[in-house]
């Protein structure tokens, strides 16, 4: 795995998401920040199973970009955090529940749309191409259920460079975390490296 390529992917993703969380912090009741990032190799199957909660459901918002430079973007949440996420974003809490209800699903879909489009926009600006992502989908369930739904449009066993960016959301003393994943095929990784990551 080329370290130069990984550093470039990391830099482009983090820069785009930092701009996004700065805007979110201005319009939200809470504070958002990038809490860490790394790049590894793996499959969609491995990425989701490694990061989903050990017990119970996970929630994911995802979209994929088709075309000459395809990639997948996913935002993973623990649905048990929906009360804190809603308080930090909207200023009031949804009911805490081990299962995600329709209002929670709509909230996560909107957040996913904002955050994942920022990631796609960072890549688009860097390679000077227009990306048209699919509509974001919110999924909830055991990791195997998430993979089954995502596998309808992508190969869960294909190997990608996986950019993982952790975002912390804080309201008062309450902090929760979500994780942004960008699954980048080699062709897009090479384009980003060739571009110099200028955005």
Domains with residue ranges and CATH for the chain: 3-195 (3.40.1550.10)
Q: 162 by DSSP, 3-state: which? A: strand
What's residue 73's pLDDT? Answer: 94
Tell me if 140 sits within 8 A of 100, measured CB to CB.
Answer: yes
pLDDT tens-digit series, residues 117-142: 999 999 999 999 999 999 999 998 88
**CA atoms of 57 and 59, how far apart (whole Å):** 7
What's residue 41's pLDDT? Answer: 93
DSSP-H helix ranges across the chain: 3-27, 44-51, 82-90, 102-127, 143-150, 186-195
| pTM of the complete model | 0.90
Tell whether the model's pLDDT for residue 25 goes beyond 70.
yes
């Amino acid at each position: 795995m080329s370290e130069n390529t990984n550093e470039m992917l990391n830099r482009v993703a983090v820069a785009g998401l930092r701009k996004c969380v700065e805007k979110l912090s201005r319009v939200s009741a809470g504070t958002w920040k990038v809490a860490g990032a790394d790049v590894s190799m793996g499959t969609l199957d491995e990425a989701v199973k490694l990061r989903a909660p050990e017990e119970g459901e996970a929630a994911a918002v995802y979209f994929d970009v088709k075309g000459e430079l395809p990639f997948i973007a996913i935002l993973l949440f623990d649905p048990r955090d929906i009360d804190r996420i809603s308080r930090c974003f909207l200023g009031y809490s949804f009911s805490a529940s081990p299962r995600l209800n329709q209002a929670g699903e709509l909230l996560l879909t909107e957040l996913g749309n904002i955050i994942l489009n920022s990631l796609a926009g960072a890549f688009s600006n860097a390679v000077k191409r227009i990306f048209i992502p699919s509509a974001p989908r919110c999924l909830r369930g055991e990791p195997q259920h998430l993979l089954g739904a995502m596998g309808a449009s992508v190969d869960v066993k294909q190997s990608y460079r996986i950019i993982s960016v952790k975002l912390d959301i804080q309201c008062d003393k309450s902090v929760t975390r979500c994780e942004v994943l960008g699954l980048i095929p080699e062709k897009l990784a090479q384009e980003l490296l060739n571009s110099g990551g200028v955005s």
